[in-house]
Chain A
Amino acid sequence: MDKPVLLQIKGLQIDGRSGDTWSPIVKGVDLTLHKGEVLGLIGESGAGKSTLGLAAMGFVRDGCRISGGSIEFNGIDLINAPEADRHGLRGKRIAYVAQSAAASFNPAHRLFDQYAEMPVVHGVSTAAKAQADAIDLYAKMRLPYPDQIGFRYPHQVSGGQLQRAMTAMAMSCRPDLIIFDEPTTALDVTTQIEVLAAIRDIVAQFDTAAIYITHDLAVVAQMADRIKVLLKGAEVEEADTRTMLSAPRDDYTKSLWSVRNFARAVQPAAAGAPLVSVQNISAGYGTALVLDKVSFDIHKRRTVAVVGESGSGKSTAARVITGLLPPFSGQVLFDGKPLPASYKSRPRELLRQTQMIYQMADTALNPKLPLRDLIGRPAQMYLGLQGKALETRIRDLLNLIELDPDTYIDRLPSELSGGQKQRVGIARALAAEPQFIICDEVTSALDQIVAEGILRLLDKLQSEFDLAYMFITHDLATVKAIADDVVVMQYGMVVEQGPKAEMFSPPHAPYTELLLSSVPEMDPDWLSGLLADRASALPAKA
């Protein structure tokens, strides 16, 4: 790199407070960023990447402190500079784009006013000039109606558009550096593409340097010139993007790269009568129709992945099957017999057959009950186990989910890690000895390596206990890994369904095609290629 150095972080240490004690979050990280360069920061949750990104602005969250090292931006010492100087830099020279634009725009002000705030307060521009500039940038970010969208309030604009408006806002003072903190994590894959493309263009156009923080390798591959991998607050390795992707040096990096290799063994084709048959279900809340004549089957020992973006109705389908939401019309058959519409009128034996594993293990486990009660209760209730037999059963279940019974049996959920909690959720479902388990986005709140472990466990248990799974997810990588059959949903309807092999090979329904092509790949040229393909496929817009 022959360009001048813009940001230089040396031996940075940041502590976070828990109770009375300070524990390190960032442990002596070095970082060098040149003008106009994009650095990808990648790591799992707890890697300290957001903390490091904020520190590049001389900012630490409440309850954190910088305990060592130096941060130098354009020759200014950000740690020791007076607070007023840092205020002057933030927004003007270094800007920030947050993960959730919907939460990071102030609901009380119009987009224009929030755009103009930085240029006006920092004395760069006037409100009128800033507004004209905003319209220009909104157009560059390919926002619809760029001259009008700024008059809207945040709640009147969609998530993907807000994320672009936030990037435009970050550009309002033409900063030297922008910190992107997981800007597309909260978006659906099809929306993500547009935002990624817009961010990449504008950063290149103004030759702005950027730190791009994400946990998604494929995304960072599209955006960054160089990639730095973090683990538990320390650097693992750093290299330019192509080298990092093709030849990672460290074992941890290699394990991150290999996560996507897990795939369930190919199963024989479905045969016989389905265990669960969803027939022509229409359902919704009040008068709003969320599910429109949905039908699909789930066979014994098979996994049906129900895929769709937010609002597609996939979770509602699960609520109908469990009886939480009686449908307007249609029925669900279990083992050939119709299930009563409401769970309240289902006998206990039927309730036992269908168990549920939730996305957020935090809210799915009663925080006041120890594992003994959490796992033991279904066994006690459905199978009538008591005393010694119950204790043995709980211990067996803990062994099944690979948690040591002696250590964990009396722990509360708050004393477990995210992955362990999800395992307890699985044990609770197994304790009922069901035939059918609904997994609702069970891996989407977890880090990739942990998620991988959960998928492997679910797969092992499936063959061991002849289970049928309904696997709800928005993530096509997960579908590839675990599904036997796939159901693609959009706007409450089934767009396409069939065995996995068929679904992942052309021809596709148009929506499936869009969905499949939108999933980022680990190839740094993927985004450019895709955009070129789509541009040639579509007639040029006026």
Chain B
Amino acid sequence: MGFVYTGLYIALALIVAGILSWLFRAALVTVMPRQTARALRTAPLTASFGMLTVLLYVLVALFAPLIAPFAEREVVGAQYLAWEAPYYLGTDALGRDMLTRLIYGARNTVGIAFATTALAFIVGSLLGLWAATVGGWVDQLLSRFVDALMAIPALIFSLLLLTIFGTSVLSLILVIAAVDATRVFRLARSVAQGIVVMDYIEAAKLRGEGMWRLITREILPNAMAPLVAEFGLRFCFVFLSISALSFLGLGIKPPTADWGSMVKENAALITFGDITPLLPAGAIAWLTVAVNFVVDWQLHRASGLKE
């Protein structure tokens, strides 16, 4: 019987999500400027669901102290209390309020993942565009170096670096950013290589344009669409990596509220049939699914426009 109820709940949740996404898209279309609105009108429901979710997460992260009923690290009761007011989602292994920690997790986990992605992205894409534009030995040197680093699996390389630099938040950000920058580099380089062979780049070179202008005015605007999509995908990847490391006890450490380590701390409950530890895991999954939906739509749109 449990399965039947679960199925019903899922169906109900999907319907509600669908309605909300539809409303959200309708609202966006009326609010946004005309050009954007036209693009939005063709967005599938999955994409508007994704955008709605991202907006929700950003709001929760920004206003966490206002929304959360308790303080982030405050012990408010006994351990593992049931889902009852005022602890709507119960308490964790140390008696801290689960809902509060989930809300603060949006700030910590997502914030750190975002900062890491941004860092990886700026470094990786600038180097990648530069390498493709200059070509020659600079490109060869950078590319072979990145190839060698990429031949080591990402998680393993991160673990190795974390062993050496220790598992503080700063080293976590730097290590993951460094590992991911290699992936961004490779994408940015290959996108730029497709653009560099175009006649308009040849024309700009023959005109005598400098490197900076070549990259910013001629190449970057044409590389924007795949790079933005890559940013979304990279964010998901970084977010999942950080969560995995935290889950393994090697990432963001308690008492900071973080979704990955919250799963780890409370995992024992699952074997007793309590789904509380699945909530932070679900929060991670929900956001990555949402971002992927938006990226998928953008990629689809970009490939459709090419034809």
On whether the beta carbons of B203 and A368 are closer than 8 Å, the reply is no
B208 sits at the interface (CB 8 A): yes
A131 sits at the interface (CB 8 A): no
On whether the beta carbons of A366 and B222 are closer than 8 Å, the reply is yes
Closest to A432 in B: B207
B85 sits at the interface (CB 8 A): no
Contact of A365 among B200, B205, B206 (CB under 8 A): B200
On whether the beta carbons of A364 and B208 are closer than 8 Å, the reply is no
B1 sits at the interface (CB 8 A): no
How many residues of chain B get a CB closer than 8 Å to chain A's CBs?
Answer: 16
A465–B263 Cα distance when bound, in Å, is 76
A323 sits at the interface (CB 8 A): yes
CB-contacts of A348-401 with B (<8 A): 348, 351, 354, 356, 358, 360, 363-369, 377-378, 381
A324 sits at the interface (CB 8 A): yes
B221 sits at the interface (CB 8 A): yes
B6 to chain A minimum Cβ distance, whole angstroms, is 38
B202 sits at the interface (CB 8 A): yes
B168 sits at the interface (CB 8 A): no
B148 sits at the interface (CB 8 A): no
B84 sits at the interface (CB 8 A): no
Closest to B304 in A: A19
On whether the beta carbons of A367 and B222 are closer than 8 Å, the reply is yes
A343 sits at the interface (CB 8 A): yes
Q: Which residues from chain B sit less than 8 Å from chain A, CB to CB?
A: 42, 198-200, 202-209, 217-218, 221-222
Given known pairs A351-B207, A368-B221, the reply for A360 and B199 (CB within 8 Å) is yes
On whether the beta carbons of A348 and B222 are closer than 8 Å, the reply is no
B200 partner residues in chain A, CB cutoff 8 A: 363-366
A322-355 contact mask (Cβ, 8 Å, vs B): 1 or 0? 1110000000000000000001000010010010
On whether the beta carbons of A364 and B199 are closer than 8 Å, the reply is yes
On whether the beta carbons of B206 and A356 are closer than 8 Å, the reply is yes
On whether the beta carbons of A343 and B199 are closer than 8 Å, the reply is no
On whether the beta carbons of B199 and A358 are closer than 8 Å, the reply is yes
A354–B208 Cα distance when bound, in Å, is 12
On whether the beta carbons of B203 and A351 are closer than 8 Å, the reply is no
Given known pairs A364-B199, A364-B200, A368-B222, the reply for A348 and B208 (CB within 8 Å) is yes
B203 to chain A minimum Cβ distance, whole angstroms, is 6
On whether the beta carbons of A366 and B218 are closer than 8 Å, the reply is yes
A354 partner residues in chain B, CB cutoff 8 A: 206
Task: List the count of A-B residue pairs having beta carbons below 8 Å apart.
Answer: 46
A351 to chain B minimum Cβ distance, whole angstroms, is 5
B209 partner residues in chain A, CB cutoff 8 A: 381
Given known pairs A366-B218, A366-B222, A368-B222, the reply for A428 and B203 (CB within 8 Å) is yes
Some 9 contacts from A to B, beta carbons below 8 A apart, are: A343-B205, A351-B207, A354-B206, A363-B200, A366-B200, A368-B221, A369-B221, A377-B207, A381-B209
A365–B204 Cα distance when bound, in Å, is 10
Closest to B224 in A: A368
Closest to A349 in B: B208
A358–B204 Cα distance when bound, in Å, is 13
Given known pairs A358-B199, A363-B200, A368-B222, the reply for A381 and B42 (CB within 8 Å) is no
On whether the beta carbons of A351 and B199 are closer than 8 Å, the reply is no
A227–B198 Cα distance when bound, in Å, is 39
A351 partner residues in chain B, CB cutoff 8 A: 206-208
On whether the beta carbons of A20 and B42 are closer than 8 Å, the reply is yes
B199 partner residues in chain A, CB cutoff 8 A: 358, 360, 363-364
A243 to chain B minimum Cβ distance, whole angstroms, is 40
On whether the beta carbons of B207 and A364 are closer than 8 Å, the reply is no
Closest to B197 in A: A363
On whether the beta carbons of B202 and A324 are closer than 8 Å, the reply is yes
On whether the beta carbons of B207 and A363 are closer than 8 Å, the reply is no
A163 to chain B minimum Cβ distance, whole angstroms, is 26
Contact of A324 among B42, B204, B206, B217 (CB under 8 A): B206
* 4 further A-B pairs in the complex, CB-CB below 8 A; given A324-B206, A381-B207: A19-B42, A364-B199, A369-B217, A377-B207
B207 partner residues in chain A, CB cutoff 8 A: 351, 377-378, 381, 432
B196 to chain A minimum Cβ distance, whole angstroms, is 12
On whether the beta carbons of B206 and A323 are closer than 8 Å, the reply is yes
A27-57 contact mask (Cβ, 8 Å, vs B): 1 or 0? 0000000000000000000000000000000
